[in-house]
């Protein structure tokens, strides 16, 4: 809703022509960029936030004047059907259409000759989507995931940082593409941080895994995957701490893993669940080096009170976005673009950048009377040579 309101409030400004300068040899004339819709946009949304991750890019695509086809995840069939009915009640089918179905429908969808395709999901599937789109030379925006780190500086308030991290990690049981994936903290502060995480988890979820505000893992496949991550770490001798006991069904106990080796699956793959590795480092420089030695994250979280530390980390790291002294909320700032870099995605949307993603700035040069350039046309002679020296040198 906020994305739609933001677009409605600003689209008149986004649509304005942008004047560009014209060098004097090309005068009289004017140059400008004129935004126009791309045409038909395809949007593939995931299961973890099926409304937000469909409606937010839809707002950008519609603001730019496009027609849109939407493919929600088959793992949320009831939500998909509800959105289809609601959208059908407001838009003609040739303006906005919702296509429901399983993986075969999704595969066929990404092969359509869209004018632009936006996909939100895993990096592995994103590769297949980009490959399918390339057959039609369809430009893509890929909103992927990856391993988003949280760097905790020595000057950070551990209690406050822990509350922000637990909120970001356990919302939707960690099934959030921008959830903190692992923590980097000084070796001497690991014990205190674990205790602060436990206190924050108990504060937010006083009944543990049975708390009504805590949820389960989407399906058995993902639940087994997460359990295997933890099992592999324990078998490798990694120290594990539960933040609280799990509940019934797939309500998994959130756990922290202290210094798991890099070769474990939990350190190689996006976790997407309530498993939180803590990596101890000797300094903030070591934390930055650790991040820079790995694929670019979708978001980098930083906890520090020091402006110099914050500016230094911002300067030395590359990520899709940064959130300082909080988690998750940056995605709600409609005035900021949202997107990844490298393995965490390409392109961005939200706000003005979303309008620009689904638009093309058509370059236009216009005259109202003949220009000086006509003096350079044939037949060539002395006047031409004189003008050439003046205009070209």
Check pLDDT > 80 for residue 15.
yes
Chain mean position to CA 273:
18
Token pair recorded at residue 190: 């690991």
First to last CA, the chain: 57
Rounded to an integer, what distance in angstroms lies between the CA atom of residue 159 and that of residue 204? 13
DSSP-derived secondary structure letter, 298: S
Residue whose tokens read 């980390």: 313
- Confidence category of residue 291, pLDDT binned at 50, 70, 90: very high
pLDDT digits (tens, 9 = 90+) for 248-276: 999 999 999 999 999 999 999 999 999 99
pLDDT digits (tens, 9 = 90+) for 42-75: 999 999 999 999 999 999 999 999 999 999 999 9
pLDDT of residue 393: 62
pLDDT of residue 147: 95
Token pair recorded at residue 68: 């849109």
pLDDT digits (tens, 9 = 90+) for 127-160: 999 999 999 999 999 999 889 999 999 999 999 9
The answer to whether the CB of 43 falls within 8 A of the CB of 58 is yes
pLDDT of residue 369: 86
For CA atoms 83, 88, 92, 93, give the dihedral sign: positive
Q: What 3-state class would DSSP assign to 154?
A: coil
Chain mean position to CA 375:
52
Q: Which element (helix H / strand E) includes 33?
A: strand 30-37
pLDDT of residue 376: 73
Q: What 3-state class would DSSP assign to 313?
A: helix
Rounded to an integer, what distance in angstroms lies between the CA atom of residue 124 and that of residue 92? 34
Lowest mean pLDDT among 220-234, 245-259, 304-318, 365-379: 365-379
For the annotated catalytic residues, the residue numbers are 143, 177
Q: What 3-state class would DSSP assign to 240?
A: strand
3-state DSSP: the chain helix, strand, coil percent, rounded to 5? 40, 20, 35
């Amino acid at each position: 809703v906020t994305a739609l309101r933001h677009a409605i409030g600003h689209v008149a400004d986004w649509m304005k022509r942008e004047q560009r300068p014209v060098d004097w040899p090309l005068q009289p004339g004017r140059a400008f960029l004129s935004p126009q819709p791309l045409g038909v946009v395809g949007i593939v949304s995931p299961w973890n936030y099926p409304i937000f991750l469909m409606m937010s890019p839809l707002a950008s695509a519609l603001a730019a004047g496009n027609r849109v086809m939407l493919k929600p995840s088959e793992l949320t069939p009831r939500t998909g059907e509800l959105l289809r009915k609601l959208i059908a009640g407001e838009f003609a089918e040739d303006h906005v259409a919702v296509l429901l179905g399983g993986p075969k429908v999704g595969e066929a969808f990404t092969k359509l000759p869209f004018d632009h395709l936006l996909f939100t999901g895993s990096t592995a599937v994103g590769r297949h989507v980009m490959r399918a789109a390339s057959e039609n030379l369809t430009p893509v925006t890929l909103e992927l995931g990856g391993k988003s780190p949280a760097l905790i500086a020595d000057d950070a308030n551990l209690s406050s940082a822990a509350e922000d991290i637990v909120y970001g990690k356990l919302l939707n049981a960690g099934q959030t593409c921008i959830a903190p994936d692992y923590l980097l903290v000084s070796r001497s502060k690991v014990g205190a941080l674990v205790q602060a995480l436990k206190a924050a988890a108990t504060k937010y979820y006083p009944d543990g895994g049975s708390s009504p505000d805590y949820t389960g893992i989407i399906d058995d496949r993902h639940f087994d995957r997460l359990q295997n991550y933890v099992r592999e770490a324990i078998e490798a001798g990694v120290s594990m701490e539960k933040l609280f006991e799990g509940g019934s069904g797939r309500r998994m106990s959130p756990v922290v893993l202290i210094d798991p080796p890099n070769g474990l699956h939990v350190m190689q793959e996006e976790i997407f669940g309530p498993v939180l590795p803590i990596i101890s480092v000797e300094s903030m420089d070591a934390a930055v080096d650790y991040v820079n030695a790995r694929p670019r994250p979708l978001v980098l979280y930083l906890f520090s009170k020091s402006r110099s530390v914050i500016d230094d980390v911002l300067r030395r790291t590359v990520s899709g976005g940064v959130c300082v002294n909080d988690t998750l909320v940056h995605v709600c700032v409609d005035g900021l673009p949202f997107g990844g870099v490298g393995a965490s995605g390409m392109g961005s949307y939200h706000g003005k950048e979303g309008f620009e993603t689904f638009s093309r700035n058509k370059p236009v040069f216009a005259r109202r009377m003949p220009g000086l350039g006509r003096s350079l046309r044939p037949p060539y002679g002395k006047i031409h040579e004189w003008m050439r020296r003046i205009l070209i040198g």
